[in-house]
Structure 1
Amino acid sequence: MTLRIDMHSHFFPPIGQDEAAALDVQQAPWLRIDADGQRGMIMTGKRTFRPVYRALWDPVARLEELDALGVDVQLMCATPVMFGYQYGAAAAHEWAMRMNDRALELCANARGRLMVLAQVPLQDIELACREATRAFRAGHRGVQIGNHVGPRDLDDEHLVTFLTHCANEGIPVLVHPWDMMTDGRMRKWMLPWLVAMPAETQLSMLSLILSGAFERIPRSLQLCFAHGGGSFAFLLGRVQNAWEQRDIVRENCPNPPASYVDRFYVDSAVFDAVALRLLVDTMGENRVMLGSDYPFPLGEQKIGELVASRAELSVTAKEKILGGNAQRFFGLPDVAGVRTA
């Protein structure tokens, strides 16, 4: 059977309110677990944030579900509300170290089937680089970062420095959208997640391309954008046309935007056969990796089925997208057979 490695899923360790209060009493995230242990609520201080269930914090429950779904290996990363970018650097650094150590504990008895990506205090690049290296050496397979820190996008000098550090250290990077742009017009129907989140991802990718940041970042950087790259694939033609027609667009970008697709990867979380075809046509079968956004309701409920069911994808393409590309991207050891070991 084709190896399935889900490289985009989330976790939230069972952090209590007292532990979260060490970061911030009013807003720090923690997990309120129901008496039956099956359901819970992510809290931010005293406010409810998101209903969740046991697989988010319990590796035993998660592995049971992965068995049922036919997933061999899953890489987990922090639920973005855990980032802590809005806090002081020292406090955020301590928080990141503690969360990263808790993450490794969740994987300790998973027989290599659960792996994690670290979080870092991205508001302080020196501390972020230090924690990225520490966590990577401790067993994390890479880092997950938010797509911006306040008003600073990925082309910001400090964030370029962090990406360069990861390239030099061989640390893979997953960029996840968060803190979505909205001026209050997207109050209902999860519109920040449905409209602004894809736009945030495209903004991050174009900030690296059009600013010339990719000219300063080593090509060795292993960089992936979540959620199929958001709206990037669909709107790349628009960007390409703008680059050709307007000098202001190409002012700092020496090459056509489409020529930069070999600088990054995307996951497969697009939920639609036509969108997946466009994504693979745009990025190439070597640069799309299985990603589910598990265990949230907006994630792929049958992990990998969209890719596996597409007749237009060759057997080789499916093998790459479902597992082979992630193995190469993260430098994973041979994980064939881990589900039955």
Structure 2
Amino acid sequence: MTVIDVHAHVFPRLSQAEARVLGGPVEPWLRVLGDGTGMMMNGDQEYRPVRAPLWDAEQRLADMDTFGVDTQAISSTPLLFGYGAEPERAREWCELVNDRILDYCAQAPDRLLPLCQVPLQDVALAAEMATKAAAAGHRGVHIGNHVGSLDLDDAGITDFLAHCAEQDIPVLVHPWDMLGAERMNHHMLAWLVGMPAETHLSILGMMLSGSFERLPESLKLCFCHGGGSFAYLLGRAENAWHHRHVVRSDSPKPPSAYVRRFHVDSAVFDPRALRLLVEVMGADRVMLGTDYPFPLGEQQPGEAIRNCAELSELERDLILGGNAMRFFGTEAS
């Protein structure tokens, strides 16, 4: 079985001068310190310390060999999205980032699958760039779960997702710019609480707004971090849909009717949580995801999958790689 990690990040070598194309307060760039470490920068401010596999493909491949990962889908670090920039500036920025991701993945094209990013603040431009990036060799598109106040159920973003479905471009959704950040500015609570909440908000918003009714069933859509808190709270949403008209006003079906319309990754870190996730989603809708190479990611890729005693051997194989093969079309399953 080929082991495929669908949730692995890259931060290409980008200089502060290059980041200035964004023309705003968010200017992400990478300061490499020369000792195997670096610093993600936001303008002149230090954002987060990082290590070399984030920008060094050779070290990434060595880690993959150590951990028994055959293939990674490579997506940008969300700080790079550039959603706050003027669209034409964002186009230039995304083209730069996408080219760097292609260059990075070209060092092992049979093992590193590049995912592009797009200026989602302009959905027509985003659709155009997604098509262009797919023609250039990108295997999917990586987007944030919202653009400012616009969530995935926004009509324009729904149009973009429909375009991806029509073009057979897989979509990986990552939470970012978390809600309530002013109350979660300590102990990494924005990541521990905000990220799961953001993803739950996106999934449930698409269900209750009727977005899935308007989207082709062919859409390949995957939410990171196990879908956030969605699986655990699905029963609450079901109860509300059945007993409160305001909840079901735009959705002809209860939330459980739409769980087969998307995938999630396995980054829940606990076999008990994974068991529930598989029960809710189905074993064919969960794919290995680690959040590599960040410290909050799964340190031993696939550990929760292998330690989940309730999974059959076939289910483990599907989650470790079989589902991802179908999702990205890497080979017939």
TM-score, normalised to structure 1, is: 0.96
Deviations 1:209-264 (A, max 9, x none): 00011111111100010000000000000000000000000101101110100100
1:215 matched residue in structure 2 = 213
Separation in structure 2 between the aligned mates of residue 231 and residue 130 of structure 1, nearest angstrom: 33
Verify the 8 A CA contact 1:25 1:45 in the aligned structure 2: no
Counterpart for residue 85 of structure 2: 87
SS, match of residue 310 in structure 2? coil
Please list the CA deviations of residues 36-61 of structure 1 after superposition, one character each: whole Å capped at 9, or x if unmatched: 3x100000000011110000000000
Select the residue among 168, 171, 182 that pairs with 1:170. 168
Equivalent residue number for residue 33 of structure 1 = 32
Runs of 4+ off more than 2 Å: 22-27
1:74 maps onto 2:72 in alignment: yes
User: Which residues in structure 2 correspond to 1:81-160 (within 5 Å)?
Assistant: 81-160=79-158
- Contact 1:30 1:43 (8 Å CA) reproduced: yes
Relative to 1, partners in 2 of residues 1:89 and 1:181: Cα closer, same or farther, differing over 3 Å? Answer: same
Q: Secondary structure at the match of 1:121?
A: coil
Give the CA deviation at 1:311.
2.1
Q: What secondary structure does 1:184 align onto?
A: helix
Q: How many angstroms apart in 2 are the aligned matches of 1:225 and 1:181?
A: 17
Could you say which residue in structure 2 is the equivalent of 1:239? 237
Among candidates 48, 58, 80, match of residue 56 of structure 2: 58
The aligned amino acid for 2:128 is R
**Partners of 2:81 and 2:181 in 1: how far apart?**
22
Q: Is the 8 A contact 1:26 1:46 kept in 2?
A: no
Of 44, 51, 56, the match for 1:46: 44
Contact 2:226 2:267 in 1 (8 A): yes
Q: CA deviation at 1:183?
A: 5.2
Deviation of 1:309 after TM superposition, in Å, equals: 2.3
Q: 1:263 maps to what in 2?
A: 261
Structure 1 CA distance for aligned equivalents of residues 300 and 85 of structure 2: 37
The one-letter code sitting in structure 1 at the alignment partner of 2:229 is S
Tell me by how many angstroms 1:310 deviates: 2.0
Deviation at 1:184, TM superposition (A): 1.6
**TM-aligned CA distance change 1:16 to 1:237, over 3 Å:** same
Aligned counterpart, 1:338:
none
Q: What amino acid is the match of 1:43?
A: M
Report Cα offsets for 1:247-287 as digits up to 9, x if no partner.
00010110111010010000000001110000000000000
Give the corresponding residue for 1:308.
306
* Pair 111,25 (structure 1): closer, same or farther in 2 beyond 3 Å: same
CA–CA distance in structure 1, aligned partners of residues 269 and 249 of structure 2? 36
Equivalent residue letter for 2:126: A
| Aligned residues of 1:100 and 1:118 also touching (Cα < 8 A) | yes
Q: Which residue of the partner structure matches residue 15 of structure 2?
A: 16
Please list every run of 5 or more consecutive structure 1 residues that lacks an aligned counterpart in the other structure. 336-341
Match of 1:279 in 2: 277
Label 1:124 to 1:240 Cα distance change in 2 as closer, same or farther (>3 A).
same
Question: What is aligned with 1:297?
Answer: 295
Alignment coverage as a number of residue pairs: 333
Contact 1:289 1:322 in 2 (8 A): yes
Q: Which structure shows the higher helix fraction? A: 2
What secondary structure is seen at the aligned counterpart in 2 of 1:298? coil
Distance 2:66 2:181 in 1: 41
- Structure 2 match to 1:4: 3
The aligned residue for residue 320 of structure 1 is 318
Report the identity percentage.
56
Q: Is the 8 A contact 1:9 1:76 kept in 2?
A: yes
Which ranges in structure 2 are unaligned for 5 or more consecutive residues? none
Of 260-269 and 180-189, deviating more is 180-189
* CA drift at 1:330: 0.8
Distance change >3 Å, CA 26–CA 199, structure 1 → 2: closer
Cα RMSD (Å): 1.2
2:248 to 244, 247, 250: 250
TM-score normalised by structure 2 residue count: 0.98
User: What whole-Å deviation, never above 9, does each CA across 1:141-190 have from its counterpart, x for those lacking one?
Assistant: 10011000000011111101100100111101011000000152212000
Aligned-partner residue type, residue 21 of structure 2: A
In 1: Cα distance, 2:31 partner to 2:181 partner: 30
> Residues of 1 paired with 2:109 and 2:154: CA distance?
39
